[in-house]
Structure 1
Amino acid sequence: MTSIEIEYCHPCGFLDRALDVQAAVMRSFGTELERASLVVGDNGVFRVRIDGTTVFDVSEDEFDIDEIVRRVRRNRQ
């Protein structure tokens, strides 16, 4: 099963974004996932990983929940 990890910068106030992405992923994939976990980070980080592979990084991509869900869909195993 697939594991999703959402690493977010707590000092930057990205918790709400992380919760929104987690909820969207859970609505879309629910029981197909082993877990969708939040990981506290810093220094402006906001990354989404699937089974350890980064599929979204805010330092390279514009934040868009729908695009993140599409990337998760394409990269699930």
Structure 2
Amino acid sequence: MTNVEIEYCVPCGMLPRAQDLQESILEEFGEQVDQVALVTGDAGVFKVRVDGEQVFDKEEASYDEEAIVDSVRSRVGATA
């Protein structure tokens, strides 16, 4: 199964955005994912990893919730 991590900057107040993304991923994939974990960070971080592979970094791309969910989709169930 698939594990998703959302690392977000606590001092920057990114918890609501991380929670919204977590909810979107859980609504989209339900039991197809083992977990969608929120990981605290700092220094402006907002990264998403699927099974350890980074699929989003706000330093490299602008935040687009649909695009991030699509990136997760391409990896859900990809490993056996």
* Short-chain TM bin: over 0.9
Q: Moved runs in structure 1, 4+ residues, more than 2 A?
A: none
TM-score by length of 2: 0.94
Q: What displacement does 1:64 show?
A: 0.8
Matched AA of 1:54:
Q
| Residue correspondence of structure 1 range 4-15 to structure 2 within 5 A | 4-15=4-15
Percent of aligned pairs with the same amino acid: 48
Give the letter for the 2:30 counterpart: G
Counterpart for residue 2 of structure 2 = 2
Q: Distance in 1 between matches of 2:64 and 2:19?
A: 13
Distance of 1:75 and 1:62 partners within structure 2: 20
Aligned residues: 77
Deviation at 1:74, TM superposition (A): 1.1
Question: How large is the RMSD of aligned CA atoms in angstroms?
Answer: 0.6
SS of the residue 2:74 aligns to? helix
Unaligned runs of 5+ in 2: none
Residue aligned with 1:59, SS: coil
Where structure 1 has 5 or more consecutive residues not aligned to the other structure, the ranges are: none
Q: Deviations over 1:17-64 (max 9, x none)?
A: 100100000000010001000000000000000000000000001001
Quote the residue 2:58 is aligned against.
58
2:49 and 2:41 map into 1 onto residues whose CA distance is 14
